[in-house]
Each structure stands twice: as structure tokens, then as C-alpha cells.
Amino acid sequence: MIFMQQRFTEADIPILAGKTAIVTGANSGLGFEIAKTLANRGARVVLACRDESKAKTAADEIRKGNPSADVMVRSLDLASLASIDTYVAQFLTAETKLDLLINNAGLMAIDESRTVDGFEMQLGVNHLGHFALTAMLMPVLLSTPQSRVVSMSSSAHRKGKMDFDDLMFERRPYSRWSAYAQSKLANLLFILELNRRLGASSQTKALAAHPGVANTNLGQNAGGIIGFGFRISAPLIAHSALKGAMPALRAASDPDAKGGQFYGPRYMMVGSPVVETPSLQARNLEDAQRLWKISEELTGKHLL
């Protein structure tokens, strides 16, 4: 039962000295807390962010609290396949191992827009950009013992539907919340298929997490009645960004975590992290395989 799972706190994260981690979107919110916590536990952490100036400020803040923190900043725009190519080339030139890839960066309920490569922005950044990044880093992940890939989803995936006939909202009217939910469902389908392809004997694990309702700036620009309600209610029920980061941190570091697991807050939206069961649509292997094939075609990246 979910309520019988052992409580997991920051103190339960093992010492990570000698480990190398990439955290996307690490300049603020959940990503910042993930990067800071990993660094405080001894990991070498790369802050992979679109806004390099904000990322440098975040790195300075981490070092201010922990002068021995091993953190560095690298520019990464997940809305551009060319930027991902450049980022990975630079990383592989400087590093020989990768223990943790935390696919955290994301957009929530934004106005309709397109990535550099023409993808609907939320699917492009939240899923396709991370798919391409993971594909290009998979060789170094596979060569690093006990490595992990952790993707940040959302409880909104439960409202998601993969419209394979119109993934980019080219024919149907754009809905910011439907696009967001679809992208977060895509995150879980990606982990489902990645875990299957890795297989039970692989030293590399693929896991997912969601933060519940965390006090971050994500979704603050969401429009419409739902967006207004979210901005009003979230501060009243949200837990801190650190607590929101704990499900991903548990997925990344708990020695007992198993490939394919999905972590979220104990009480759905708040609380310490526990293993959750994703929605039925997030466990649809046929959809996962279909999305995988489409993702390879769209990005030109082939993974496993």
C-alpha cells in the first residue's frame, strides 16, 4: 500500500561523491532545488539551461550555501535540436561519464507557439527536446555503471490524451492545458518504453516523477479561467519547491528504486515521495511504442 512506504527525506539521499549529473532547467524552481541538493550530497552537477545568465546566478547561489559545491553552467535550449547537438558535443568533450540525467525543464500552459524546428512548443520542449537529449547521451549513460534517467511529469498527465493524428495542434483549436497534459503524458510513455527497451538486466534505469503542487513560477503566465484558478489556489495548497523536488530526487538516488517506477507526493499533491501508479493511458505500451517511433522520426535521433 502507498501509505506503508518508507518515508524518504533529504537526509536519506546517499552521498553522491564521484557522480556526475545533468539537470535541465536548473536555474529556478524544482530544477534549482534538485541541482542544489545533488551538489550538496557531493555530485558534480551541470546546470543545463536556456538562460545562461540566470543559470550562472543559480550556480553562484548554490556555491554561496556550499563553497565546495561542484557545479557548472552549460547553455541548452530544448526548443532547438541544433542547440541540443551543440550541448551534447560540448558535454562529451569535457566528461567521460554520466550517472544522472534529470529531464526536468518544462513549460506549462503557455500561449501557442512553435520551436525552432516547428514543433508545438510544449510537446517540443517537454518531450521531444528531452527525447533527443537522452538519445544522444545514451551511449555515455550505458557506459556508466548504475546510471539513471529521470523525467519530470505531472499529475496533469491523467487528463492527457495523445492525439497522434494532430500532435502539433495544426488542425484542432489550440488548448494550452490540453497541450500541456499531452506533453506530460508523453513524458511517462517515454519512460515506459525506455524502461522496456533497457530491459531488466540493464544497469541503467529509467524512472519518472511529479512534484504535486509546488511553490514555483511554473504556470504563472497561464491564461483563462483554469490559469486564474491555478494562480489563486496554488499558493494556498502548495508545498515548497524543495518538497516538490523530492519525488525526482528519490527516483534519482534511492538505492531501492526500480526501473519504470513513478514517484509523486504521498497525498497526491503534497507530502513525502512515494511510488505512484500512472494513469491507464500512461501504461499503454502500444501508444508508448508509437510515440517512440514518431519521436525518432521528428527529431532524427534514434534511441536504443
Assign 3-state DSSP to the chain and report helix, strand, coil percentages, each to 5. Answer: 45, 15, 40
First-to-last alpha carbon distance for the chain, in angstroms, is 34
> How many residues does the structure list for the chain?
304
Contact present, 238 and 230 (Cβ < 8 Å):
no
**Cα 73 to Cα 43, 68, 87, distances in angstroms:** 14, 16, 11
For the chain, helix (H) and strand (E) counts, in that order, are 9, 8
180 is catalytic: yes
- Counting Cβ atoms within 10 Å, is residue 104 exposed (0-12), middle (13-18) or buried (19+)? buried
Among the listed residues 87, 174, 180, 267, the single catalytic one is 180
Give me the phi and psi of 207, to 5 degrees please: -135, 170
Residues known to be catalytic: 180
